[in-house]
Amino acid sequence: MIIKKQIGVFCFLLLIFWATTSANIHDAKAESVRKAKTVWEKTYGGKGDDRAFSAIGMPEGFLVVGSTTSLQPNTTMAWALKIDNEGNMLWNRTFNDQENSEFRYVLLLHDGFLFIGNKFHASGDTDGYVVKTDEKGEPIWEFSLNNGGVDKLFSAAKTQDGFLLVGLTNAIVDHGFDVWIIKITEGGHLIWSKTYGWEMDDAGRAVAISADSQYFVAGYTNSAGNGDYDFLLLKIDVEGNLLWNRTYGGVQSDKAYLIVNAHNGFLLVGDTRSKGKGDSDAWIIKVNSEGNPIWDRTIGGSNFDVPTCISILKTGDYVVGGFTFSFGEGYRDFWLFKINDEGNILWQATTGKGGYDEAYGIIEVADNAFIMAGWTNSIGQGAYDFYIVKVNVANSEDPWLLYVVACLVVILPFAVILVLLKRKRVLKNREFSALASP
């Protein structure tokens, strides 16, 4: 009976230990920053300034887009390059050679690619700029639109009948910048162009499309909300009619750059200076289809940490990429972290050199293995070069492994004590039997 009570007490203590230890292990794991293992890394560019802003994966490799000043003197050109799975260049193309231009985003299509970017004129005006190409990067059609002034595009999504393009414009006088949304056909013809905004600055940065073909546009505003800038979420229908808008934020600057579909809602991702631990932290908000918050999380260190890209993983979790001043080896390092649909941060890691390294694209290639694309001045030839790295985030800090080890540390002493007690009880019984014998 005594041993049974001892076992019961032990089990109760073990349960308490499991509850506290597993929570502490999870928290410690989320807070710790790993150094990602570099599988390979390569730079692409010349003596000028070459910056990658977006990347997509394909079975035969990856396509990376951005801008380059290395190929033509005094000209910034939109640049796209395709590499194989080991980083070897397959082809590269420049676009709009007579004017300054850039690509900020790329969509993979069944018959090629859609490049989204901007043209920069000597007058100071900016036009949204879109190019449809075939699978080898050869242009099929181009589209540009100028409202007068600065009109920039940052992202796009494929719709049932064309493409939705998202950015900002200052076309309305005395209105600051407004959210700018354009819908075009698959052949590059304008369907509609609309602005959404108030008296001050408002911007659209990314778009997600719901199962019922409603458009959700994320960005930021300082026309409404609580602070300097707030996260902004718009819901519009297929004709561009505004159904509702929501803001999220504190008293300082909070800007959303990304939105992705999630289970029963969407994830909004950006940076915050209102919340978190440092000068700016990554801020993730999950909202439902009506824009109501479900949960929010911040992650970062004591300095500036900025999320710039996100991918949905095969497991249904998410990996967020960006750059960090708080962690790593250089002034800025590539930064990535994994988060699940409940908002739990599973791990975070960095990779980089001694200089400035910023990531703007992240692609899952295997479990805990990723391609990251951005730019660097740590290595390479120029002021900045395209920097593409394959990393592996080793699962060396698996919480279940730590839990098993921790449990063994507790179980073994108790097991030894129980064996000794049982042995002592057996000896006493023998002594009693010997005394009671005739």
Domain locations along the chain: 2-23+402-436, 36-396
Least confident span in 25-34, 96-105, 243-252, 255-264:
25-34
Question: pLDDT grade, residue 421 (50/70/90)?
Answer: low
- Strands (E) in 301-384, as ranges, are 305-312, 318-324, 333-339, 345-351, 357-366, 369-376
Average pLDDT (257-264) is: 97
Question: pLDDT grade, residue 6 (50/70/90)?
Answer: low
- For residue 25, count other CB atoms closer than 10 A to its CB: 18
> What would the pLDDT profile of 304-361 be if each residue is shown by its tens digit?
999 999 999 999 999 999 999 999 988 999 999 999 999 999 999 999 999 999 999 9
> What would the pLDDT profile of 199-223 be if each residue is shown by its tens digit?
899 999 999 999 999 999 999 999 9
**CB half-sphere exposure, 149, CA atoms < 13 A:** 13
**Residue 128 above 60 pLDDT?**
yes
CATH for the 36-396 domain, from 1.10.357.10, 3.40.50.300, 2.120.10.30, 3.40.50.170 = 2.120.10.30
What are the φ/ψ torsions at residue 8 (nearest 5 degrees)?
-60, -45
* Token digits of residue 287: 């909202």
The CA-CA-CA angle for residues 273, 128, 258, to 5°, reads 30
With contact defined as beta carbons under 8 Å apart, do 126 and 118 qualify? yes
For residues 111 and 118, give the distance between their C-alpha atoms in angstroms, rounded to a whole number.
Answer: 23
For residues 61 and 108, give the distance between their C-alpha atoms in angstroms, rounded to a whole number.
Answer: 12
Residue appearing with tokens 């397959």: 90
